[in-house]
Structures are given as structure tokens and as C-alpha cells.
Structure 1
């Protein structure tokens, strides 16, 4: 198979790799679409995110969907041909964190495109059967991929305990901020304020659920009396002002990855009994994400602003620098041809990939 590979020196190459074989309890997915995240671009430009460093060739991409074309032992062969959204993580389900339902915090987690684990910018990947979520026919390949960032937004809104009639301030109108606004609207928030310094992004915010939009550097930037604050910017000043905007007993959720440390208004947090927490990925969000997309309450398709082939990954990763860009999608198997059948009609035979759909066949574990 073809794979886009990032090297420690920042080079991107297209390499030929063996098609991975699903181990027991896994499925083999032919990747249909991959959304690119700011973390992918960060690995390209800086070679690391915090303690995760690119020291060996790695395949990026963790927002993905596709079609199951093979299964490992103990997985029903009936899954072959099924369109799925990939939840790109493999926790140790025996860890205390996983057994408590917080498997996203498992210390033994293997997460797509996080060194040294390969991601989905390639033609085939394997994933645990339970982490390949069936997608309704009317949900697009791109939407299947974007269940991943939507899951981050769902996790943030849950942590903020946003409910019907609440007011929410969201800092940062990037993809995650815009998705948070949509999820807040879907759960019944009455007022959704988006704070964003970029004029083009501010213009888009109301399209994706914001009821009010403010320029944090403008004369009318002050926001007061919100019940929840979500920082999707990673900017320390935005986090501080967001906490100050909260009503007593308000909840602040830090989502954006920015400075490792920041100075916070502790007197405000103490005197108002503000609850301050963070979000690290997600757990148990995919059913909700698919429900929101399938019902039309959240529109992820409208967020796609660029489509690229596997040979254009560098351009796709740099698309976030283009004014008006929200989300770039890469098609590892080639850009879709409107004249060809849809993905559910061309799942492909297991034989064409060298993978068996026999649930009792021996499979090798993909490293």
C-alpha cells in the first residue's frame, strides 16, 4: 500500500508498505477520507508536541473513516463491506482508567499519529472491532472522518455541563471551536458567544452556531455572566478572560493546546467557586457524534474547505495558513470520482488486499 510518511528531518515521502493484517479482535479498513488536525501540522513544522517527538518515520492522520475489507479472529465476517468511522485509539481495557469508563486516560494508550504509532494517511489501517463505528449510508466519507474532532467538542461540552438555556463563551473559532458552538446549540444553549481575533473566522462563526461574535482586541470585547467557558484557542490571555467572564459556579474547560503553564486569576476561581478542568481526547462519544451528524443537528460537511490526494499531503497540511480555511481532507485512495459508485458499493474483496475475511484465520499484529 501507499503511505505518506513524515521523517524526523521534516521530509514527507510516499512509501510502499505492506498492507497490515488485523490481529484477533481487529478489523482491516480501507481508508476513505482523512481530516487533518493542527497536531498533524505541528508535527510537520516542529517535529514534536510536548513529550511526543518524531524520532523515526511516522504516518500522520488520526481523523479517518473508510470501509472494512478484512477481519481478524473473533470478529464477524459480516462486517466486511461496512462503512465505518474510526475511533483512533487502542487503550488497555484492563487498566483502572479504562475499567472506570475513562479509557482516554489509559496510560498504555496507543493513539493514531502519536509517536511511535502510525496514523491513517495511508491506504489501509487496522483498528479494534469496537473502535470501528458503523456509519449510516447517508453520512458522507468526510463526515465519517470528522466524527473525531466532533468527539473532542462533545467531550468539552459534556465537561462544561452545558444544558438547555445556558450561556457559553468559546474562545477560538478554529475547527474545534466551531464544532463546540454547534454542539452547544444542539444541546440547547441559549447564548453562544464566540471570541476570535481573525475577521474571516468571526464572519464564519454565526454560520456554525454562534449567537454573538466578539473581537477580543476590540472595544466591545468584554463578556460577562456566562455559565460555561470553553477555551479552544490555547492562548493564555483568552483563558484568563474567559474565566473572568463566568458567573458564580461557572465551569471552565481548557481544550486548546498552548502554553505548558499560565497564570490564572485564582481569586476569581475561589470567590466564585469556578470549576476548572481540561479535556484530553474523548471517551464514549462516537454514538453521540454519529447521531448529531445523521440527524443534521451538526453539519461537519460544511466545514470542509479543501480536498487533496495522498501526494499532496504537504499542501493539505499547509492549508490552515490559507485565509478562510477550516478543514482539509486527504483521500489516500485518490480524490473521489463522481461517476464511480459510492464507497459502500466498492468495499472491495478481501482477496484484493491480501487480507482474509475468515474470522478464524491467523493474523499478524501490525506494529
Structure 2
């Protein structure tokens, strides 16, 4: 009975979402074939981005809302490869290469800022993302065309500076997905993208076993003990954020090459929020997350995203109600999980204090 209660407490969010999905799938009247194809598409688009959140969690820095900085780096790289008219998978890989130094610089800046706000990394990374969004828009809206030469008329505004609001990425659309596509029972699977995601998963598993990975785990468990063991805590935390930011840049490029269109000023804004919501729905917390959490979370979160507007339309005659509901749920789940995490941590702390007090009493007797 105790183990069942513990399991329910730990997985209350994914269980709740699964029950909700099971209830509204019949109402939506969507076919299994359609849902499976959509899930393959959503995993293809979002899994790399969600996995980029795992490294900072290992280092005890919580949920990195600052992955939007990596998304900005990826989008700047996509602007350059569109300007140079480099297409297909060559354009995708070149964009990844170009985004890397930009993401590293942004990650280094972000990591140093977060080191000044130990214990408040999540809210700090969120505010930092909003601040850097202003800098990004300043560069893209005023710097490109006037300081940074952009001559492609499909990119530049008629005034001669500033990038257009929407960029057609037709040249690299599905450049990676179409590189190796497999048809299984009528379902198209972008094998090349999933191979890259599998490589990232293997990298994360391997990375946890390295010296740096073990240092990050030690820092995540206790900064004081890690520092006493001779670990350079600040450097380790900065490296965690740099790796996460670079991976987020790659993830944003994979995401946008699948869509084929980039909203220059808005595409990156919700990346952090929705990626974190998906990870939390998968059963992760601010201190513990795994690859299965990421996969499960994307499946549950995006299944809810797909079926709720359709179910809302079937029930109320308006898809807008379902749209409002899924936005409410995405933000509400983040708040719920963080509150539950804090409650669970306080509960564990009280239990530990009680055990320590009992031991002290036993020793005194």
C-alpha cells in the first residue's frame, strides 16, 4: 500500500494527463493512424529540444528556461544560411555549425549570471531569456542590413535594414527529415533525424559516466560537499549551461527545418515553456529527469495538444475553447509540478530531520 501511494505521488501528473487523454480521445473522433503519424511528427520536431534540458538538471540547476538563448542562436544561423542560399541537409548542418559559437557565448554569459543566483536559477533563467530576447530583436531588427550585410530581398525589409517577420525556409524544409525517410505500414518515419536524437541520448548516457558528468552530479547533490572535494563548482555549472544552450540551438534548427517557416521574432519565445511542460508531464522534476521522461512527456503533452481543440469543437462547436484549455493546462502543469516538487522536498526534509532527531535521542540514551 505504501509503495502504491509513493508511486501515485511521484507520477500524479502523467497519470492525470493520461486519464484526461483517454477520456477525450473518443470525443475527438480522431483515428489511431492520424494520432500515430502526428506523434512521430511531434517527436521528430521536439525531442532534441526537450533532451537539451537534462544536463543542467544533473548539475542541480533545475529547469533551464534559458534554452531560448540557444533557440535564438539557431535562428540567427538560419538567417545566414538563407542569405547565402545554402539548401537541403547541407544548409541544416551548416546552420548547426554556425549556431555553435553563438550558443556557446550566450551559454557562457547565462551560466555566469546563474552562478550569481544560486538557488534561484529557474526564475533567473526565465528573466534572462526575456532580457536576451530584447537584445536579439535589436540585432535582427536594426543590426541586420545596416551593420551586418544582408542583401537577399526575401529576408530584408524594404527600408534596407531589419529582417522580415516571416522567413520562408523552403530551401531547407525537411532537409534533415528527408535525408533518410522510411515508410512503415503507411507511416513515414524521418530516420535521419531520429538517428541524431539517438546519438544525443547515447551521448547523455555516456556523459553521465564521465569525470565531468560525475562532477555535475556531485554539484547537483551538494555544492558545499562538491567544493570541499576539490570540484570547481562555478566552472562545472557554466559548462552545464553551455552544453544545454548549444544543444537547444541544434534542437531549434531541427524544429524549424521540419516546419519550413520561421517567425523571426516569435518562433523561439515559447520553446522553453513548452519543452519544460513536456518534460514535467513525463514525470520529471526540477532535480531529477531522464530520457524516458522526455519521450513520455512529449507523447502525452502533444497528444493533449492535438486532441483538445478537436474535442472542444465537437463538444462546444468551437475549437477556440480547446485552444484556451490546452494553453491553460501547459502553464498550469508547470506550476503544479513545481509546487508538488517543493512540497515533496519539504516532506523529505522533515522526515530526515525526524530521523536525525530520533538517532540523537537514541545516542543520548
The structure, 1 or 2, with the larger RCO (C-alpha pairs under 8 Å, 6+ apart) is 2
The TM-score with structure 1 as length reference comes to 0.28
Q: Which has the larger radius of gyration?
A: 2
Higher normalized helix content (fraction of residues): 2
